[in-house]
Amino acid sequence: MSSECKNRFATLAVHAGAAPDPATGARVTPLYLSNGFAFETPEAASDIFGLRKSGYSYGRGGNPTGAVLEKRIATLEGGTNAVTIASGQSALLVILLTLLQSGDEYVSANRLFGGSLGLMRRLEERHQLKVTFANPLELDNFEKAVTERTKAIVIESIVNPSGDVVDLAAISDIAKRHNIPLVVDNTLATPYLIRPIEYGADIVFHSLSKFIGGHGQVIGGIIVDAGKFNWAGDKRYPLLSQPWEDYGGIVLADKFPQTAFGVASRVYGMRDLGPGLSPFNSFLALTGTETLHLRMPRHVSNAQAVARHLAAHPAVAEVSYPGLENHPNHPLVKRYTPEGPGAVFTARLKGGEAAVKRLISNVKVFSHLANIGETRSLIIHPASTTHRNMPPEERLAAGLGPDVVRLSIGLEDALDLTADLDQALKD
């Protein structure tokens, strides 16, 4: 790994974590569809089960195809280790359940992917994980939401769906002042655009279903451990700092100081709770990573072109894309992601909800899908779909009123995308 780490992003995106298969020489990482892995001796079996040795045992806890994806994404993000998981949603679930117990409190950005907001509300109702929502774009108010009971902060680096870029360094300072881990959902940015660990994030996660998989084929997630938070002796995080009696009294923070959060996510999150990622989905997501550095610039330049075109269109009241120079969030784009803030944004139509629905019905190149971040351009009405469960006033505050349409810009020719929107906006 050490020589690998000197390589640049594109080389790492193609190679990190992979080598020719020692058994066969296969150059592509093989798809190991085996849920069991033979132990060499009874002692080796017992050591692997007891976390005294690393190795594969049963596929619920990890598999060799997923392991390459884990090394690849951990390297691209600058983390020490990673854990593949069934979906982006389950990545957030496992992170919250690893850090928190019933009655614990955390602070989350109020602008997040709709599914994350829904999960957080449900966990509060049913399992008493108390969440305080605050606007991550208003730093003073955000810090005021943090109390001495707060055990974690959760934000998105680029907000789904507004495209706003969050001041990661400032929020990381808040987390450090209060000595709590910062969790960053980096799905919309991908490590190509932003690497949150460089700004102080402790845990990064992704939905692999979006730009990393990149082709609209897989549901998957991954958790990356920065390996920097000092859990040792910190009673607020018992899974990390207290003995696991059923594992011979092992203390993860002491035994695995660089990788404790990843180990906890694997042993508790995958072995106990069970939401592993299938090797097949790891295989497809791994293929996606190998072109990430080629796809992202095209996603972003197409998004910039479509946003600019819509901003000048007479039927459009407002475009949220912070890549546009006059957008209030543009200074943070320049600082954190000078190539542009990803390829997902919203637009408000002068004709209101009826105009949004007409646009969605009329497009021919865009597809009407709930997904984002794939080769094809996608369109949806968040207020009646992805964000329908939000209270209407919160939805409005998050910039998702009934007159708002969400776009995810794909890899087609930008001129065909703007032409498609033009014909669809004519009535």
Ligand X SMILES: *Cc1c(COP(=O)(O)O)cnc(C)c1O
Choose between 115 and 341: whose C-beta lies nearer to ligand X.
115
Choose between 63 and 87: whose C-beta lies nearer to ligand X.
87
Minimum distance of ligand X from residue 128's CB (angstroms):
23
The pairs formed by 143-150 with CB atoms below 8 angstroms and a separation of 24 or more are 143/174, 143/177, 145/107, 146/107, 146/174, 146/178, 146/180, 147/105, 148/178, 149/104, 149/105, 150/105, 150/106, 150/107, 150/178, 150/180
Distance of alpha carbon 333 from alpha carbon 147, whole angstroms: 29
Choose between 120 and 240: whose C-beta lies nearer to ligand X.
120
Minimum distance of ligand X from residue 12's CB (angstroms):
23
Interhelix angle 292-311/414-425, nearest 10 degrees: 40
Minimum distance of ligand X from residue 91's CB (angstroms):
7
Choose between 108 and 418: whose C-beta lies nearer to ligand X.
108
Choose between 29 and 209: whose C-beta lies nearer to ligand X.
209
Minimum distance of ligand X from residue 375's CB (angstroms):
16
Choose between 240 and 343: whose C-beta lies nearer to ligand X.
343
Compute CA 352 distance to the chain's CA centroid, rounded to the nearest angstrom. Answer: 31
Minimum distance of ligand X from residue 158's CB (angstroms):
8
Burial class (CB in 10 A: 0-12, 13-18, 19+), 250: middle
Work out whether strand 150-156 and strand 182-185 pair parallel, antiparallel, or are unpaired. parallel
For residues 202 and 196, the answer to whether their CB atoms sit within 8 Å is: no
Q: Which residue is nearest to ligand X (CB)?
A: 88
Choose between 59 and 115: whose C-beta lies nearer to ligand X.
115
Choose between 236 and 395: whose C-beta lies nearer to ligand X.
395
Minimum distance of ligand X from residue 252's CB (angstroms):
26
Choose between 97 and 424: whose C-beta lies nearer to ligand X.
97
For residues 82 and 74, the answer to whether their CB atoms sit within 8 Å is: yes
Distance of alpha carbon 299 from alpha carbon 211, whole angstroms: 9
Burial class (CB in 10 A: 0-12, 13-18, 19+), 45: middle
Residues lying near ligand X in the complex (CB under 6 A) are found at 87-89, 113, 115-116, 156, 160, 185, 187-188, 207, 209-210, 219, 221, 372
How many residues comprise the chain? 427
Choose between 63 and 89: whose C-beta lies nearer to ligand X.
89
Minimum distance of ligand X from residue 105's CB (angstroms):
22
Q: Closest by alpha carbon to 168, among 180, 178, 153?
A: 153
Minimum distance of ligand X from residue 308's CB (angstroms):
24
Minimum distance of ligand X from residue 422's CB (angstroms):
28
Minimum distance of ligand X from residue 162's CB (angstroms):
11
Structure tokens at 414: 């930008």
